[in-house]
Structures are given as structure tokens and as C-alpha cells.
Structure 1
Amino acid sequence: MAFKMDTPVIVAAIDFGTAYSGIAFQFKHEFEKDPTKISAPQTWNGGKPNLMSHKTPTCLLLDNNEESSSFGYEAEDKYADLCMDGKHTDWYFFRRFKMRLHEREGFTKSSKLEDVSGKKMEAIVVFSKSIECLTKVLIEMLDRQGALVRQTEIHWVLTVPAIWDEPSKQFMREAAVMAGIKSDQLDIALEPEAAALYCQHLPLDRFVDKADDVHFGALPPGSTYMVVDLGGGTADMTIHQKTKGNQLKEVAKASGGPWGGTAVENEFLGTLEDIISKDAMEMFRKQYIYDYFDILREFELVKRKISMKTEDKLTIKKPVALDNVCEGNSFKELLEKSKYSPDIVVHLDKLRLSPDFVRELFRHITDKIVKHMEVILSSCENVIVILLVGGMSESLFVQDIIRSRFHGKNGVRVITPEEAGLSVLRGAVIFGRSPDVIETRVLRYTYGVYITPEFDPEVHPEEKKIIKAGNFHCRDVFGVFIRVNTPVEIGHSVTKCYSTIAPFQSAIRLQIFSSSDPEPKFTTDPGCLKVGELAIFIPDPSAEQRSVFVEFKFGYTELQVLAFEATTRFPIITSLKMNE
């Protein structure tokens, strides 16, 4: 939804990631001088000098009153201290919970999330408290800099994967509003779009592959490129075409899957589980949480070092606690009996990992990424550049794999910006200044409403027959008004007319549905998802039938809905309510 503020003093972005989250901001005068001059402070400390970072782990610590919140490395360290002191039972610790919105099976506004110990809390609270923590850090940072900025002078941008559905984006907006951000001061930015927008402004020397001499920002109108956003949780891919005036047009709908950096980490944790058993690994995670966090941080460094050319073994510190959970055996003894010896070797207090073993952990994920890229490119043969962005794109091994498969094939060039993990965050700031830069998007879903037309025995199944106002009708019918894969310009509208069915009816309520099927018949079909319920409030209800026009507007990052009284064309108050 485009923001109402014409010239906000500051645009602030929150990249709310699966594995890591970050914040960035930019003053109006900085944007006018250099759009890439964006502050993304290296403010997070992971307890190790080489883990000072622009981002922090996406984890939240709350007490029983859902207060005393801390976020990121601070939350990890504080929770570990509470565990060691035996005081953690009255606290909630949530970690890497964003993927629940990607999975979404049965997920609604009232859904609950389990923390690491199994305690539950409403998901909307967990997300909103996390956003609140991030906004607080940014406000405090501005205060320390002496920036005399009022809250009303800040426009916020929150990033989400392009492959997310409408309810997930709506959920994040509601969480941000609960966190204290006004809805008209908030934009939702799609991650690969934001990254591409940032890279448009980068000079050639800000890309890793300078020898290729591909100046992304100077690609001529008509050039088609693929954005591959590899984050912590998802791989998010889309194809854009540059148009005149450096505008962008989406030519293939966003797609992808759960193939981010955390999937590689899970492969490593699965290896440890194979060695010491599932129960022992669970004991290690619960009873020795400090060591658990530590080994994950150590493995994060390994992920950053490995490449196709790496020959030497990689080293991480072996926690003593691994021996404590092995029930009569040492970790070394169990390892030597496993299929992972000699790929993993214990040397004193270190684990030595063979580069082939680490590369194989990646291949379980990169094979899926490459296969999906091949499918997309097979249907769009005029792609000339593949732009790798996102935190996982900083992996030398991932770069090597994708370049070896695609670079130079059919004239395609694979390029990666420096600090690829920050391209989404910085691009979100630029998006906040120019949200209409994407002039055309391709719909990922078919949209429609729940309707109950007159029953037709030649079309409708008998089990869906109902009696309504004395006549036979069919329930659960999907009333399509726009189909998946339709290219839509920003503001593309579809207008429908709806009428009251009872005297003095004060509101018309419509259930909006989406589907991945271009021709869904019923709202109960596989792949159909209820987006939410639209309430259209009738002004001055009367005994006569009243009609309203509902305008569904597409092409933005979120679905927009407007309603008008049919005879006067006066706007009517509407409320799109997320599934409870």
C-alpha cells in the first residue's frame, strides 16, 4: 500500500528474516544526493569479534507477562544465562519462527507458536514484539545521533518474501501496527524487488564479479534479468524486465521454496543427531543451550568460508556438553562408529570437517535451487543476467555452484553485489521513496469471492445444494474475478457489484479467496486459501435493496479494496479482516 506521506524526513526499513534480521535508515537529503547512502549500522554483537554484524538472529525473549523483551544475540545470550541459572522456566524464547508464515498450513491470526521449550503464545504477539524491538533499536540509534525526528516524520518499510500469499503479508502489517507503526506510515516491500532496486543504483565496482564488466544499473530498456534472493529461510526467484525511465516490469510470477541458509544448518544438525541419537541431541539443545548457540555460530563461520576450491579441513569448537549427553560413550567414540568418520574428526576440543562433507551439506539445498532456476529459465529464454542477492548468496560455494551451471550459458551472466545479504534491507529503504518503481507485476494467485448461485444440477454437485430464500442454491462456489499469471499494472482494478439481501441490512460481508489454480470451482478445492473477510458498511440502511461497487486493486505489493455506493458513488467504509 503506497504511503500517504509525500516527503518523509526518514525512511526506515526492517528486514525481518528467518535466520537474521536488520534495520536501516536514510534521511531525505541523503537519498537526493546518493540513493545508496543508507545507514545499516554494524550494531549487533554475537559474542565474537568476527561476528559483529549488520544483522542479528531472529529470536525473541519474553517473560511470563509478555514483556521484558530482548531480541537477537542479546536474547540468545540472556536465555542461555537463565538456563544455566535454572531460571528459564518462566520465560518464553522463540527462534526462527518466520517460516510458519511460509508454511501457513492452518495458520490464522489466533494461531499460537511454540517456544523452544514447548510453551505457547499467540503468533501475532511474537511477531509484533519482535518488530517492536527492532523499531526501538532504530529510534534509540537516531536519538544517539542527535537526530531530532518526530515519529510522524518516519516512514517504515517491512520486507517479506515475494512468494508469500496475501494473508501472510496482511499478518505482518497487523503485527507492525500492533508494534506501534501506523498503517499509513508503512509499506510492505517484496524482498527480491527491493534487492534489484538497490542494485540498479550500484556502480560497477560494488559487485563481486567486476571482471565480467556487467553494469547492472546500466542495462538498457528491454533487458530481462532474473533475481535469485537466497535468504535464511527461502529461495525467492522472479524475472524482471527494465523499461524506460528505469522502471521495472515483472514478467514471470515469483516462485521458490524453503531452500535458504537455515536448511544447510539443519543438515548439519541432522548429522549430529545421526551420530549421538535424536534424544541426545534434544537433551543437548535443552540442557546446554549456550553450547548449542555456540556451535551454530561456529558453523555459520564455516558456511561463509567453504568454496569449491577449499582443500583444507574446516574447524569448529566441540562443546564438552556433547560428551555429557552421549550416555556412557564419548562423542568421539560414537563418531568413529558412524558413517561420518573420517569426514568429521575430533581433535582435542575441535571438530575437523572435510570440505567435501561441508559441500555435500550445501548440495542437498543447492541442487533444489539450481533445478528450480532451470525450470524458470526454460520458460523465459531471453534472460541475460542472473542477480544473486540475500545472505546465502554471500556463500562462496553457492556462488560457485550457480556460476558453474549458468554463467556464460546462452549469454547469461551471473553477478553478485558486495554485501549481498544487505541488498534487500538497503533496497527496502529506496523502495520507501519510490514504491511505484515496479510498474507491472504478475499475479501469483487467482482471486475471487465466496458466492452461492442458483443450483444447476448439470454443473453443481448434489452435496453442495442448500436452500436460501426459498430457492435451491450451491454453496462454496469460487466466484473468480482475476486469474493467476495475469500481468497487472499498478492500480489495475476489477470492479464488482454486490447488493443487500435483507431490509435494513447494515453491512455486506464478502469472503475473499485465492487459489493457485486458474479455474477453481469451489472454495473448498485443494490449493484454495481464504484471504480474509471484507465488511462493507452500508450508509443509512433502508428497507430497499442497496447496491455497492467494490473495486479490487492489483499491482501493488498488497491487495487494496475500495467500495462505493452504487447510485451516489460516495466512498464507503470497508474493513478487510484477516482470518481469525
Structure 2
Amino acid sequence: MTTSCSNIRVVVGIDFGTTFSENLGFAYANVANPEKIETNDIWPSKTGENKTNTVIRYDEKFELIQWGLPALAERTSKKDKNSTSNSSHKIAELFKLHLGKISYENKPPLPSGLDPKKAVTDYLREMGKLMKSTISARWPGLIYYQHVRIVLTVPVEYDEKIRFIMRQCAYDAELILTLESENLEFTTEPEAAAIYCLGNLNEHPLKVGDSFLVVDCGGGTIDLTIRTLLPNSRLSELTESTGDFCGSTYIDKEFKKFLGAKIGKSALKLVEEKHYPKLQYLIQDFCANIKLPFDGDEKNWQDKEIDIEEICPVIMQYVKGEEREELEGCEWVITLDFRTVKYFFDKVIGNILRLIREQLANSEKTIAAIFMVGGFSESKYLLQRVRQEFNRQVPYISVPSYPVTSVIKGAVIYGLKMDTIKTRVLKKAYGIELYRDWTPDDPIEKMDVLNDQKKILAFKKLAEKGTEVDVDQEFKNTSWPTFADQKVSSFKIYTTSKNDAKYCNEPEMNLFGRLGLELPDVNLGLDRPVEFTLTFGKMETRAFARSLKSGTTAKASFRLEL
């Protein structure tokens, strides 16, 4: 089940982007030459790019047909304007968003009957085939499941339960040999980006003890973390990492609303249903020619024209009534002026500024720099707005070199030197359900009577929310058997967003997992305390136990409650 760290010869970092604009990529390095991190640039039907599109095309039985760019966008010629698509094909994108805690109304549609976990698994499987062939070509004789460590990046919004689902998907996709394999590690996207920024600090005026904010500007999510530079190029986390669903793809959503107003909502719906790849070609054309170059300076602006008949003529057959008359009058050309495009951006950027503002307010230390990474960080208008808002508060605001690959390269660096991260800040309070004596301060309705003794099920806090902890910091508690011949014991582990919680049935209290303990030395009866230890600073909780009588290791198991 476990592979010794000394067996690891290659580290692969995977940045599983959310959308077609913030895509999937992987990078890798050999531990013998850790400075040479290579980024894959060969994808299906596409060479020379660091990432490919997070999209899958299925047939009617949900058998995978294509993945990446070939599954997404199709251009049609004018002679195809009355064509019909293969309606049996099903396009799945944005499926990773379904794993996150996003409101139902904001969840993007998936083909009916498709489990988002299947989509994640299928995509990882295809990517894994390419990854394995790439690595085996570079280093013949390498045994993949023994010699390769994978570091998978996830948004900060993904709690441990969602990360476990990602682990299950990686196992089902044959990226790891066993579900419990230690060859798979996780890091958050902004944490990986912060690690990448370490390699660029000699270019910036930062010194040991300084703190900096990393803003990972992705397609689906924006993730933020404040880190402090420690000696020996290590990092501690200063505040709780935060994030939200307000990436650059929400600009595309505003463009789609605008398009729907021009061609009619019913026409847009029919095009989405019948010609989705062709519609995506139009949206990608908008991204490449309008969204990415937009700098927010009206003096540099020239109105942009979108020729429907040239770029996406299949739309024409569905446009009716007043919309058709208007579009025919302008020869099927839609014009975008400066104010309209600026409107697409401003709501999204406003949310990013809010997130930055909240992070800076939560920090007790002065922030020396803001580093903006990810695909959306290349937006000149976004950088301009961030500098305009925060340049008096933060003296240095920068986009590091190669911001698009910062997360995957940071993931590789983390896999090569996993002690780079010294501390993390807990996003929840952790504790156990404990049967203790009832007191007059406890609610009478919660009292239970056992063997003529007043008892109550209470929450015993082990770790506080917002606490900065070492990644391997241990949180301990001691358990005694309830019965003289008891051989096993179990505890419910709860998490809560409140540090003052007292009972496990309070609002915002969630069952996190179950801890199982073996109670050795049965011959000692009740006098055989077992100390159990839980680590919450790692990306995945670990449990250990030992007998306080004999000092021997006791068997402990932790199982997430999914």
C-alpha cells in the first residue's frame, strides 16, 4: 500500500482546471534534476500549448468519444448554416464545479444522467494515459506505480471530503494502484502558486519574515492565500485561505447573456442544445479576440464586430421575429462597444477585489506583495484594477513570469520538497463526540441517565478554527475502555465553523468521520488507557494510537463520513 519516499524518482504535478478557458495541464521533473521542470505541450489535436480543454464528448451510452480541445469547439462554414448536429453526442464541461459547494442554481448543466464523478474519472483516465506514455518515453525502465508521485491541485473550497472524492476518481482512473496510496498528494491551487513564487522571490524585494498574498485567478474559481517567507525557503500560512466562484468564465457567461439578447433566448437555447461545439467556437473567438486583449482603456478601444454568418452561421436558422429583422438589417454583424465589454468584466473583477480586501483585512501583518497567477492574471484590465485599488496598501503588485503554469510547476516543486510548507491555517474547528457527566450548565433536555448517572453527549474540541498549525502537528486525547473486556472503541469526529460549540447537534456542526481504536491488553480490565492522535494540518487526516500502559502501537483507523 505504501511506497517509500526513497523509491520516488519522478514527480508529476496536475492542475485540473475547471473550465475550457482554465484548462488541465501537467508538469514533471526527475528528483535527480529537480531544477528542470518540464511542462507537457502535446495534446490531442493540439501541440505547443501548456494545457488542454477540460471537456469530454460522449456518445448516447456515455462512452467517451473525445476529450480536450477536439471535444469542444467546431467551426462551421456558411454552406453549413442550416446543418444539424449529431444530437446523440453529449458534451460535458464545467463538471468539476459540481464537486464544489456551489448553489444549485449556479451549478452548470450536465448531460442528463451523467454523474460528475464519472466525468472527472474519465477525463483523468485519458490524461493519465498521455501522462504515463510521456514519462515512460523520457525515462525507460521506470516503474510507474512505484517510482512516480502525483501532486493534484484543488481549489481551496474543496474540503477533505471532496478531496477524498478526487482520490477515488484518481484511483478509478488508474492514476494510483490502491485507494490509500501515498503516491498521491494534494495541495491547494494558491498554495502551489505560492511555492512557485518562492523561485521568483530573488527578483522581488522580499526577505525572510515578509508576508505576501497569492491570488490564483482561474477560469471557474479565484483562490487566495497569504504566506510568510521563513528561513530555508519554507512557507507558513498566515490567514485562512479563501476563494469563490468568480473566475474568468463568468465574463463568458455575461457575453452569452448579451448574445441571447441579440438573437433571442429561445434561439440561444436551441443552439446550445443542438450545436454546442459550434457555439463554443464563437465563445472562444470572443475570448481570444475581445476578452484577452481588453485593457480597460477607452482611448485604445475600437468597437469589435462579431460576424455571425462568418463565425457561427448555424445560429441564423433559429433567429425569429424582431431579432431576425434587426440582425438582417446589420448583415448579421453584432457590434460590441467599450461600455458593454467593460460591463462584462466589472462584476467579476468587483468580486475579486472584495476577496483581496477581505484577506488583507484578516491579516494582522503588513503585506509586502501581491502575486497574481493563473490564466486570468494575464488580463491587463484586472491587473490595472487591482493596482488602482491596493497600491497604497501593498507596495508591490506583480504577475510572475509564466503565470499560467505557476500552479502545475508549484505542485511539482511541492512534490519534490514536501517540507516546503511548514504551517497551514485550519478552516474548521475539530473535535470528538464525548459522553461526559451532565452539569447544571447543560440543557436539561439533552441529559441522559445511564446507570443512575446523569450524562450528556458533548463536543470536545481538539483544534480551533483559524489556528496556524504545523502540517504534522498532533492533536491528542486519551481513551479508556467502558467495559473491562472491551476490545475496540470508536469516536465520531465533528467539524464546525464555530469555536464556541458545545454539542454535536448544534447548527453548523458536521459529522466529519469516525475514528476506530483497538484496545489492547484486555487482561488489564478498565485500567488500559490508549492515547490517540489526529493530524489536521495535512491535506488528508491521519490517525495514530498507542497504549499508555505498554507503550506499544495500537491500531487506529480514520474513515471520512461521506
TM-score normalised per structure 2: 0.85
Matched, 1:236 2:230: no
Cα displacement (A) at 1:229 = 1.1
What code does the residue aligned with 2:503 have?
F
Moved more, 167-176 or 235-244: 167-176
2:18 alignment counterpart: 18
Matched, 1:312 2:302: yes
Once residues 115 and 98 of structure 1 are traced to their aligned partners in structure 2, the CA distance between those partners, rounded to angstroms, is 12
2:235 alignment counterpart: 248
Once residues 256 and 129 of structure 1 are traced to their aligned partners in structure 2, the CA distance between those partners, rounded to angstroms, is 27
Q: 1:435 aligns with which of 400, 418, 438?
A: 418
Moved more, 53-62 or 238-247: 53-62
C-alpha distance after superposition, 1:123-161 (max 9, x if no partner): 443333322222211112234446432111111100012
Once residues 215 and 344 of structure 2 are traced to their aligned partners in structure 1, the CA distance between those partners, rounded to angstroms, is 20
Cα displacement (A) at 1:225 = 1.0
Moved more, 302-311 or 347-356: 347-356
2:54 alignment counterpart: 58
- The alignment partner of 1:510 has SS state of strand
Once residues 481 and 259 of structure 2 are traced to their aligned partners in structure 1, the CA distance between those partners, rounded to angstroms, is 62
| Distance change in 2, residues 1:443/1:61 (3 Å) | same
Once residues 363 and 428 of structure 1 are traced to their aligned partners in structure 2, the CA distance between those partners, rounded to angstroms, is 31
C-alpha distance after superposition, 1:369-422 (max 9, x if no partner): 112212322343511110101121122221111122223x14511010132121
1:84 alignment counterpart: 85
Once residues 548 and 267 of structure 2 are traced to their aligned partners in structure 1, the CA distance between those partners, rounded to angstroms, is 66
1:42-53 correspondence to structure 2 within 5 Å: 42-44=41-43, 53=49
Once residues 491 and 262 of structure 2 are traced to their aligned partners in structure 1, the CA distance between those partners, rounded to angstroms, is 54
Once residues 442 and 554 of structure 2 are traced to their aligned partners in structure 1, the CA distance between those partners, rounded to angstroms, is 35
Once residues 542 and 326 of structure 1 are traced to their aligned partners in structure 2, the CA distance between those partners, rounded to angstroms, is 83
Matched, 1:135 2:118: no
Matched, 1:558 2:540: yes
Moved more, 526-535 or 260-269: 526-535
Contact residue 307 and residue 334 of structure 2 kept, 8 A: yes
Contact residue 314 and residue 354 of structure 1 kept, 8 A: yes
Once residues 301 and 478 of structure 2 are traced to their aligned partners in structure 1, the CA distance between those partners, rounded to angstroms, is 67
2:474 alignment counterpart: 493
1:404 alignment counterpart: 388
Once residues 519 and 102 of structure 2 are traced to their aligned partners in structure 1, the CA distance between those partners, rounded to angstroms, is 33
1:23-422 correspondence to structure 2 within 5 Å: 23-31=26-34, 35=35, 37-44=36-43, 53-62=49-58, 67-68=63-64, 70-76=66-72, 84-88=85-89, 93-103=91-101, 116-121=110-115, 123-145=116-138, 147-151=140-144, 152-180=146-174, 181-182=176-177, 183-202=181-200, 215-216=203-204, 219-276=206-263, 278-301=265-288, 302-309=290-297, 310-318=300-308, 319-331=312-324, 333=326, 348=331, 350-380=333-363, 382-407=366-391, 409-410=392-393, 412-422=395-405
- The alignment partner of 1:184 has SS state of coil
Q: Which runs of 5+ in 1 are unaligned?
A: 107-112, 205-214, 337-345
Cα displacement (A) at 1:235 = 1.4
Contact residue 73 and residue 278 of structure 2 kept, 8 A: no
C-alpha distance after superposition, 1:216-252 (max 9, x if no partner): 3x62111111111111222111111111111111111
Moved more, 422-431 or 560-569: 560-569
C-alpha distance after superposition, 1:149-207 (max 9, x if no partner): 21111111000123432222222223223322142111111211211211222387xxx
Once residues 303 and 521 of structure 2 are traced to their aligned partners in structure 1, the CA distance between those partners, rounded to angstroms, is 76
Q: 1:530 aligns with which of 493, 511, 515?
A: 511
Once residues 577 and 434 of structure 1 are traced to their aligned partners in structure 2, the CA distance between those partners, rounded to angstroms, is 28
Moved more, 552-561 or 233-242: 552-561
Contact residue 370 and residue 394 of structure 2 kept, 8 A: no
Contact residue 460 and residue 474 of structure 1 kept, 8 A: no
Contact residue 45 and residue 53 of structure 1 kept, 8 A: no
Once residues 84 and 120 of structure 1 are traced to their aligned partners in structure 2, the CA distance between those partners, rounded to angstroms, is 20
Contact residue 505 and residue 542 of structure 1 kept, 8 A: no
Once residues 312 and 492 of structure 1 are traced to their aligned partners in structure 2, the CA distance between those partners, rounded to angstroms, is 57
Contact residue 151 and residue 415 of structure 2 kept, 8 A: yes
Contact residue 298 and residue 317 of structure 1 kept, 8 A: no
Matched, 1:8 2:22: no
Once residues 338 and 558 of structure 2 are traced to their aligned partners in structure 1, the CA distance between those partners, rounded to angstroms, is 52
2:80 alignment counterpart: none
Cα displacement (A) at 1:446 = 0.8
Moved more, 155-164 or 543-552: 543-552
Cα displacement (A) at 1:354 = 1.8
Once residues 194 and 233 of structure 2 are traced to their aligned partners in structure 1, the CA distance between those partners, rounded to angstroms, is 11
| Distance change in 2, residues 1:4/1:171 (3 Å) | farther
2:427 alignment counterpart: 444
C-alpha distance after superposition, 1:315-338 (max 9, x if no partner): 4453223333334454573x79xx
Contact residue 94 and residue 114 of structure 1 kept, 8 A: no
Aligned length, in residue pairs: 537
Cα displacement (A) at 1:69 = 6.2
Contact residue 239 and residue 252 of structure 1 kept, 8 A: yes
2:552 alignment counterpart: 570
Contact residue 158 and residue 186 of structure 1 kept, 8 A: yes
Cα displacement (A) at 1:260 = 1.1
Cα displacement (A) at 1:3 = 7.7
Q: 1:514 aligns with which of 492, 495, 519?
A: 495
Cα displacement (A) at 1:522 = 3.3
- The alignment partner of 2:344 has SS state of helix
Once residues 4 and 551 of structure 2 are traced to their aligned partners in structure 1, the CA distance between those partners, rounded to angstroms, is 23
